[in-house]
Amino acid sequence: MPDAFRLLTEEDAMSDYQFGKKSVHHLFCRQCGVHAFERGYAKKIGGDFIVVLVASLDNVDLEELIAAPIRYVDGRNNNYGAVPAEIRHL
């Protein structure tokens, strides 16, 4: 849920990169270049969204990651309401 996301640094410390349809903001740290999260709007997946790249998180307990909810969507075929036929590689 986007309203549950809390950025711990000032927004101006981030660089914003967009491409293609420019519907997603890919945010990077201006100092170190870490790509930490993305935000955007996509009607097909329910509106506003935040994507946090797990590799950018500090001090996350392995059990927390294992218990975190995962939502698989078939973006390859632009069928965001369906789970992909194959998810073993994800």
pLDDT tens, residue by residue, 16-44: 999 888 889 999 989 988 888 999 998 87
Structure confidence at residue 57 (pLDDT): 83
Q: What is the total residue count of the chain? A: 90
| Res 3 pLDDT > 80 | yes
The CA distance from 40 to 71, in Å, is: 17
**pLDDT above 70 covers what percent of the chain?**
100
Alpha carbon separation from 6 to 1, 2, 86 (Å, rounded) = 11, 9, 33
CATH of span 2-57: 2.170.150.70
Mean pLDDT of 76-84: 84
33/75: higher pLDDT: 33
Structure confidence at residue 15 (pLDDT): 92
Q: State both tokens at 30.
A: 């201006």
